[in-house]
Structure 1
C-alpha cells in the first residue's frame, strides 16, 4: 500500500506533468487513506495547487495541515505572492511569526518582498526589510535581490541600489533583477551603468539580462543605449535568439527608429513568431503606415501563423483601413471568426 512518501512523490510528478486532474485524484486518495496529517503529502499538494493557480484549494490544504514546517509556510507564501495575492502572503507571514514554530528564511522574505513590490507598498516593504535584518538575512542573496526589486518598483531607486550592493555574493539572477527593476522604473542610465559594471566583473549576461536592459530604452533619447546593446547582441550571437530580437525590435519601435526596426525584423523574418509580427505591425501603426501594415499582414497569413487580437487591433485602427483592405482580405471581425478568436472590445474600423 502506498504511504505518504509515495503520495508526495506522485503528486510532484503530476505537477511536473501539468495534470491537475491526476493531482486531484491523488488528493482524494490521500484523504481516503488518512495521510492528510503528514506534512510531506500536504506540502506536495500545496505546491501543486499553487502551480496550477488554485490558491483557494492550496489555502484549504494548508489550513488542514496539522504540522506546518518551513516548507509548508514557504510554499503557501510563495504561491500567494506569485499568483498576485500579496496581502494574503503578508497575512501568512504574520501568522507564521505569531505561531513562532518556524523562523522565516531568505526564500520566505524574498516572496513577501516581491508581494510588497507588486502591491507598490513600500511601507510594508520597509517593515519586512527591518525584520530580515533582525533575522540576520540582510546580505542574503534571495532577500537582497527581492528587496532591491521592491524598492525599484516603488520608485526608491537609491535604496534599491544600496540593497543590491549589500548582497554578499550576487548571482546572475540578482544582477538581472536589479537591471529589470531600474528598467521598470525607466532609469536607463543606472540600468546601463549596472550592465557595464556586470561586464567589468567578467560576468556573462544572458538573454534575460539583455532583454531587461533593452526594456529600459523607452524613448528616442535612449536610442544610443539601445544601439550599444544591439552591438553587444551581435557580438555575442544573440541575434539568432527570437525573444531577444523581439525585444530589440520593440525597443526600436519605442525609440521611433523605423529603419532599424525593419532591419531587425527582416533579419529574423523566416523564423519570426507571432510576437515578432505584432511588434513590427505595432511600429507601422505608430507611424500611420497603413499600406505597410496590410502588406505585412498578407505576409503573415502566407507564413501560416494565426493572428491574434493584438494583430487585429493593429489592423482595425488604421486610417483609411476599409479602402486599403483589399486583395481578398476580410475585415477583422470576420477574421476573428475564421481563427476562432474571442471577440473583444475595440476590433472595428474607426472613422477619422
Structure 2
C-alpha cells in the first residue's frame, strides 16, 4: 500500500482517480469520481503509461479496454510509447484479436520496432508462433530493424514450431543486427538449441557470453539434461553455485532432477527437494511433478506418493506421473486404482496418460483391463488410439503369450504399424521361442529401421534360444558388414558422490579381486537359499560351466558385490543399468537381497 501512495502523490488527481477505480477497493460511487474528474487537469501520456503498466502487471481486459478508450479520447492512441503497451495489455489478457485490430488501424510504415515487437511477442505468448513469424517477415520487408526483444520472442516461436533450421538462421541475423551478445538473446539461443538436443550449439553460445544470469545457467543445465548428459548438468550446477554465486530457480531444479533419476541418486534428489522446500518451489506444479518422478525412479514410490498427496495443486500431468511411478516399481494394482480415482476426481486422461496406464496393464498382466481401456478410449475419453497405444496392446498380448492375437491385432490396425509395434512383438518372440514369427517381424523391422542394431540382436537371440548357432553367426556377420554394433551393457552405482561403472565380466577395477571374492561368497549363499542358474539366458555357444560363470559376472552383480564391500549395513543399495536386467539376474538379486538383509 505504501508503494501505491508514493505513486499517487507523483501523479495528478485524475490518475489517482483512475487508480482507485481499478484497485480492489474501488467502491467509491461513480458520481463522486466524475465530480472530482471535472476539476482535474487532463492525464498526460507519461501518466497513461503508468496506468497501462498496472493493467499489464495485473491483467484485466475490462479495465484495459476502458483505459484504451480514455487514451483514444485524449488523442494518444498512436503515441509511440503507449501503442506497444496497449498491444501488450490485450496480449496478456489473452485477446490477441483486439491487439491485432489496434495494430491494423495504424499505418504500417509509421510503426517502429517496439510496436512490431509487441505484436510478435503477443502472438508467441498466445500460442500462435506461426503468425509471429509471418509478422516478422512483413516487418523485414518494410525495412524495420528487429531488436533483441524481437529475436528473443522469435527464438521461442521457432522452438515451439520445431524449426531447427530457422533457429540457425535467426542466430545469424542476431549477429548481423548486432544483438547476438545481448543477455536475453543469448539466453534464448541457449534454450532454443538445447530444446533440440544441440548441446554443442548451446554451449558455443553459452561460452561466449560475457555475463550470465540464472536463466543462462538453468538453460544450459536443461540442454545437457535433455540429451541425458547428466554428469555435465551436475558439474554446471556446482559451477553456477560456487563459482558464480547464483541462486538456482525452478527451471534449475526441474533440469537437475532427471540426473538424480539416471544415477539413482536418492540422496542428491533429497537435497534438491530440501532446497526446493526452503525456497518455496514445491508449490510449483512442474517442480512437484519432477520431484515425485525422481522419487519413483529412485525406487521410492511411497515417498513419491507423500509428495503427491502434499501438493496444493494437482493437474493431469501430476496424476499421470504418479500412476507411472507406481507402475515403474511393480505396483500395477495401485497404478490402476489411481487411474480410476483420477477419473472420479473429474480429471480427463490425456493421450500420454493412456499410454502410461496401458503400459502398466501390459507389465502387470492385466490384459482384460488393458483391452477394455483401449477399446473404449475414443468413446469414453474422446481420444483416438495412436501408434503408442497400439504398441502397448501388442506388448500386452505378447507378454501374455498370445502371439497370434497380437499379430492379428497388427493386421487390423487402422494406422500403419510402426517399428515400435513390430518391436514389441519381436521381443515376445524371443521369450516364447517363436522363430517363424520372429523372422517375419525382423524382416519388416530391417526395412523400417535398417540402422537399428537392436533388431538384429533380438533376432540373433531368438535363434540362440533354440540352439540355431549357424543362424546366430549369420546375423552377427550381417551386422558387421552393415557396420552395426550391439550396445554394451553396463551398470553403475553412486557411493559418496562418486559414480562407479561396471561392464559384464569386468576386471578393470582396482579392487577386482575383492569384488570377485564377494561374488563367489554370494553365489554360495544364494545356492543354499535355493538359487538355480537359468542357463537359457546365456545366448552363447559355450559349455554349461562357462554359462554359470557368465551369469554370475553380469554387470549388475559386480556393482552389487562392490557396493556390499563399501556401503554400511542396512543402507539401501541402488544400482542403475542401461539395458534390461536378464531374468536370471532378476531372480538372483532377490535372493541376494534376502541373504544379506539389504
For the aligned pair, the TM-score class normalised by the smaller chain equals: 0.7 to 0.9
1:94-133 to structure 2, matched below 5 A, reads 94-97=238-241, 99=244, 104-133=248-277
SS in 1 for 2:413: helix
Q: Which runs of 5+ in 2 are unaligned?
A: 1-144, 488-538, 543-598
1: distance between equivalents of 2:178 and 2:229? Answer: 30
- Report if the CA contact (8 A) 2:429-2:438 is conserved: yes
Deviations 1:188-221 (A, max 9, x none): 13222321221221212223212222333565xx
**Cα 1:175/1:83, change in 2 over 3 Å:** same
**Cα 1:213/1:14, change in 2 over 3 Å:** closer
- Which residue number corresponds to residue 287 of structure 1? 432
Output the TM-score relative to the length of structure 2. 0.49
1:242-281 to structure 2, matched below 5 A, reads 242-258=387-403, 260-268=405-413, 271-281=416-426
**Cα 1:163/1:283, change in 2 over 3 Å:** same
- Report if the CA contact (8 A) 1:144-1:166 is conserved: no
| 2:369 maps to 1:228 | yes
- Which residue number corresponds to residue 164 of structure 1? 308
Q: In the TM superposition, what is the alpha-carbon distance from 1:264 to its structure 2 partner?
A: 3.1
**Cα 1:10/1:342, change in 2 over 3 Å:** farther
- Report if the CA contact (8 A) 1:38-1:67 is conserved: no
2: distance between equivalents of 1:47 and 1:29? Answer: 17
Work out which of the residue numbers 285, 292, 296 in structure 2 matches 1:152.
Answer: 296
SS in 1 for 2:212: coil
Q: In the TM superposition, what is the alpha-carbon distance from 1:254 to its structure 2 partner?
A: 2.9
2: distance between equivalents of 1:40 and 1:17? Answer: 20
SS in 1 for 2:338: helix
Could you say what the CA RMSD is over the residues aligned between the two structures, in angstroms? Answer: 3.7
1: distance between equivalents of 2:415 and 2:200? Answer: 44
1: distance between equivalents of 2:449 and 2:158? Answer: 31
2: distance between equivalents of 1:57 and 1:137? Answer: 30
- Which residue number corresponds to residue 279 of structure 2? 135
**Cα 1:291/1:108, change in 2 over 3 Å:** same
Work out which of the residue numbers 207, 210, 213 in structure 1 matches 2:357.
Answer: 213
| 2:325 maps to 1:184 | no
Larger relative CO (CA 8 A, sep 6+): 1 or 2?
1
2: distance between equivalents of 1:59 and 1:323? Answer: 48
2: distance between equivalents of 1:270 and 1:252? Answer: 18
Work out which of the residue numbers 183, 187, 193 in structure 2 matches 1:39.
Answer: 183
Q: How many residues align?
A: 335
- Report if the CA contact (8 A) 2:146-2:177 is conserved: no
**Cα 1:79/1:305, change in 2 over 3 Å:** closer
**Cα 1:291/1:197, change in 2 over 3 Å:** same
Work out which of the residue numbers 159, 163, 172 in structure 2 matches 1:17.
Answer: 163
| Greater displacement, 65-74 / 278-287 | 65-74
- Which residue number corresponds to residue 199 of structure 1? 343
1: distance between equivalents of 2:428 and 2:225? Answer: 34
**Cα 1:296/1:63, change in 2 over 3 Å:** closer
Q: In the TM superposition, what is the alpha-carbon distance from 1:294 to its structure 2 partner?
A: 3.4
- Report if the CA contact (8 A) 1:36-1:65 is conserved: no
- Report if the CA contact (8 A) 2:457-2:486 is conserved: no
1: distance between equivalents of 2:314 and 2:210? Answer: 37
**Cα 1:313/1:6, change in 2 over 3 Å:** same
Output the TM-score relative to the length of structure 1. 0.78
Q: In the TM superposition, what is the alpha-carbon distance from 1:284 to its structure 2 partner?
A: 2.3
Q: In the TM superposition, what is the alpha-carbon distance from 1:334 to its structure 2 partner?
A: 8.8
| 2:386 maps to 1:241 | yes
Q: In the TM superposition, what is the alpha-carbon distance from 1:231 to its structure 2 partner?
A: 0.5
2: distance between equivalents of 1:56 and 1:200? Answer: 46
**Cα 1:280/1:76, change in 2 over 3 Å:** same
Q: Which runs of 5+ in 1 are unaligned?
A: 325-330
SS in 2 for 1:68: coil
Q: In the TM superposition, what is the alpha-carbon distance from 1:161 to its structure 2 partner?
A: 0.5
| 2:229 maps to 1:85 | yes
